[in-house]
Amino acid sequence: MIEQYVLDLQEVDETQVAVVGGKAAHLGGLSRIEGIRVPAGFCVTTDAFRRIMAEAPSIDERLDRLSRLNPDDREAIRTLSAEIRRTIEGIAIPGDLAAAITRALAQLGEQAAYAVRSSATAEDMPTASFAGQQDTYLNVVGPAAVLQHVSRCCASLFTERAVTYRLRNGFDHRKVHMAVVVQQMVFPDAAGILFTADPVTGNRKVATVEAGFGLGEALVSGLVNPDVFKVRDGEIVAKTVAAKQRAVHALPAGGTREVAIDPQRQEQPALTDAQVVRLVQLGRRIEAHFGRPQDIEWCLVGDDFQIVQSRPITTLFPIPAARDRENHIYLSVGHQQMMTDPMKPLGLSMWQLTAMAPMHEAGGRLFVDATRRLASPASRAGFLEMVGRSDPLTRDALETVLDHHDFVPALPETDPAGPPAGGASAPIETDPAIVTELIERSQASIAALRRDIGTKTGPALFDFLLEAFQEHKRVLGDPLNMQAIMAGMEATWWLNDRLQEWLGEKNAADTLTLSAPGNVTSEMGLALLDVADVIRPNPEVVAFLRGVEDDGFLDELPKFAGGTESRDAIEAYLDLYGMRCVGEIDITRPRWRERPTTLVPVILDNVRNFEPGAAERRFEQGRQEARKKAQEVLERLRALPDGEQKADETKRMIDRVRTFIGYREYPKYGIISRYFVYKQALLEEAERLVQADVLPEKEDVFYLTFQELHDVVRTNQVDDKLIQQRKDAFRSYQALTPPRVLTSDGEAVAGAYRRDDVPTGALVGLPVSAGTIEGRARVILDMAQADLEPGDILVTAHTDPSWTPLFVAIAGLVTEVGGLMTHGAVIAREYGLPAVVSVVDATRLIPDGQRIRVHGSDGYVEILP
């Protein structure tokens, strides 16, 4: 293969990133768009970079050392990356390469001024922009200076910030190569940046233009505040003109310098309104060409715009694909399910196939379309009320969108005699036998699934699963199931509302639900205390567990005194709860049964922190407190006007809560039990694909949808490129924060608390479990890293049922996501833990080890001195 060291920008396009890097590939693409002017230039290719690197002494050994560094070890990165840069800058550019660059310069004008800019192969990509990671040099004059700056650009692949970025984002230093763009220098009157989508709100219909005088370096380096224009549908909708005191200009002999701007000119806009609108039109053309929102660097020379860079905006949250061009409002499913991390494609498609409502995917997360519920005045109020009870931030976000007049057109009023909003079902009698019957039905259905799936393989398995998903939905959608779930929730709301009105008591139901019977999730937390009771008397087992790293540890336990009983206790626990794990709605996540080491730190905490019999004592104590509270409330009510009637109604609701609130957790347990059966069957198919050399490893099936996996099993053929693209996309989704509410315009709306009843400096949230507690904050993002002492307060992003074993050891709970009826809140109430959820950025704002006070009745957290 003939190596190409220099290519004209007119010869390259977006398909040649491996040869010319991201920046040059985009510039080549730009130069092909009608009406877009790009300064003339050429690219020194990655072949040239490899030629230079081949001259570098002991570079392989240094790159090996670099890839082993911890991304947080800044000192080591700084030292080694500086050493590599010095080496590369010290290499004389080989003669034939230097000649090729000099020939290209001669064609453009040897003594002209140039911009010399790095263009890495992992740069300006849809999933990683690498913005600002490598170097740019402006106004470089003469062949010798250009050659010197080409070397500097090559070396800038190893700046400290670029190396750290690659380490953090999993890029191999050896697989990223550098090309260098050499372009004729533009001497602009004004320059700046155009975002074709609003970079703050994500709104794809609002473009943002930032502009200043002179070269764009003044803006990029933060030397001046730019003028900012917002443009929607060809009109400027917002405009801020800044006082621009300085600019960067080119010097005749090369290089740049800062200059002061004439005071009369400082407050003049750098662009006219007409120029702003014209620039945005050019931006829309560029966006259409690349197929996604762009971050564009532009220069204005006279009245002519030149484009010097365009790259994707990688920080925007993607928008669910819609079949129409209407406006839509999407609600995050993850914020309801306590799992805001991205899901892999198999996990997404399995949840979509088994969910009761249609769901839309974006950014590795699921959303439901709430537009119709909000468009109908009849259902809007009830829907907002229901959402607000669960999560005030989501309600506020929805109201923010609804305040944008005309975003959601109102549907005509439906027949007022229709069913109430929220799909409320007829109430059911308070009878524990209903819960027993529902649990028996669910268990029978899962037993039948386990029995029947064992005989199915190949395409027949997938046909069987599609039928199983219908049974899955039938069990979930059983009217009696829905009535039992709603009965406990509605009784809780009734008690809180009425007892506040009648007795002035906040969140009274929190105490009345302590140790409610039949809650499979709270039983799971207490059962791990019983496991600790079996292990505690066996010091050899405890010592062994402290050093466990391998998931095969259960087979080792019988070698120690008391090990057989300890293993049997853990195995029995896994038989009941081994299908659970963090992020369990994603079928691809490793279950406790697959990775039992996850539970070891929690078991050891329980061994250390509790006395034998703690589970039973704890449950009984909660039951007695709830009983005492019920008696006290009823006595106080009887002393009121109409007291007997109020007490009778309240007694009925207390009985209703005690009967049904525990069942609230069971349907999810049933779903996850079924998921584990599905997963085991699918992984057996994946193992067959590995044996047949169709796949290199069975976990690759996680990056295919259910239907795609079905096709692979049918044809024994897989698209390796698709799997790699999905892996790259998943990695990029991990860096995104999903919004509670997302519009079809791309606007991500977080919502805010509108409260003035909290102390200054306190963090506001949603009160979900009454009481006030002070203690040490333990900020834990991975359950396997838990190390808790009695009295600690757990601070985390979100908790699903798998976190419940930690709840027995803590004194309070603070989460960033959650609502009144999400799992963390329900279990906190059952265990009597003061809890505040939906505290924005709690894990960032509360330092680990900080003393805090949690106000579980009033919904705020104080950081104590």
Q: Which two tokens stand for residue 160?
A: 């400290």
**Rounded distance between C-alpha atoms, residue 749 and residue 743, angstroms:** 8
Residue 685 one-letter amino acid: E
3-state secondary structure labels for all residues of 419-477: CCCCCCCCCCCCCHHHHHHHHHHHHHHHHHHHHHHCCCCHHHHHHHHHHHHHHHHHHHH
Q: Which is nearest to 89 in space by CA: 134, 53, 60?
A: 53
**Of all residues in the chain, what percent are helix, strand and coil, respectively (each to 5)?**
50, 15, 35
Q: What is the distance, to the nearest Å, from the Cα of residue 862 to the centroid of all Cα atoms in its chain?
A: 27
**Rounded distance between C-alpha atoms, residue 501 and residue 503, angstroms:** 6
Strand arrangement, sheet containing 748-749: 360-362, 365-369, 329-332, 741-743, 748-749
Q: Which two tokens stand for residue 247?
A: 């600019």
Strand arrangement, sheet containing 772-779: 763-764, 860-863, 851-855, 772-779, 793-796, 812-815, 835-837, 766-769
* Residue segments in the chain with a per-residue pLDDT below the cut of 50: 124, 127-132, 415-424
Contact between residue 112 and residue 184 where contact means Cβ atoms under 8 Å apart: yes
Q: Which is nearest to 129 in space by CA: 317, 294, 290?
A: 294
**Rounded distance between C-alpha atoms, residue 799 and residue 783, angstroms:** 10
**Rounded distance between C-alpha atoms, residue 205 and residue 293, angstroms:** 10
Longest dimension (CA), the chain: 101
Q: Which two tokens stand for residue 786?
A: 């838990």
Give the contacts of 84 (CB within 8 A, at least 6 positions apart).
56, 59, 62, 63, 66, 155, 158
- Output the pLDDT for position 414: 54
pTM of the model: 0.89
Q: Which two tokens stand for residue 561?
A: 């005194």
Phi/psi for 143 (5° steps) reads -60, -40
Q: Which two tokens stand for residue 752?
A: 């805010």
Give the contacts of 654 (CB within 8 A, at least 6 positions apart).
491, 495, 512, 630, 633
- Output the pLDDT for position 238: 96
Contact between residue 105 and residue 165 where contact means Cβ atoms under 8 Å apart: no
Helices 432-453 and 666-691 pack at an angle, to 10 degrees, of 10
pLDDT single digits (tens) 744-758: 999 999 899 988 899
Give the contacts of 103 (CB within 8 A, at least 6 positions apart).
6
* Cα torsion angle, 147, 149, 155, 156, sign: negative
Contact between residue 783 and residue 804 where contact means Cβ atoms under 8 Å apart: no
**Rounded distance between C-alpha atoms, residue 274 and residue 229, angstroms:** 12
Q: Which two tokens stand for residue 703?
A: 């990056």
Q: Which two tokens stand for residue 328?
A: 């839509």
Residue 46 one-letter amino acid: T
**Rounded distance between C-alpha atoms, residue 488 and residue 540, angstroms:** 45
**Rounded distance between C-alpha atoms, residue 131 and residue 128, angstroms:** 8
C-alpha distances (whole Å) from 224 to each of 115, 211, 245, 266, 768 are 22, 10, 7, 11, 47
Q: Which two tokens stand for residue 413?
A: 């009023």
823 is catalytic: yes
Count H helices and E strands in the chain, helices first. Answer: 32, 26
Q: Which is nearest to 753 in space by CA: 767, 742, 739, 736?
A: 767
**Rounded distance between C-alpha atoms, residue 854 and residue 833, angstroms:** 10
End-to-end CA distance of the chain: 68
pLDDT single digits (tens) 468-486: 999 999 999 999 999 999 9
Among the listed residues 149, 472, 823, 855, the single catalytic one is 823
**Rounded distance between C-alpha atoms, residue 667 and residue 678, angstroms:** 17
**Rounded distance between C-alpha atoms, residue 666 and residue 657, angstroms:** 15
Find the Cα–Cα–Cα–Cα dihedral 458, 463, 464, 466, rounded to 10°. 130
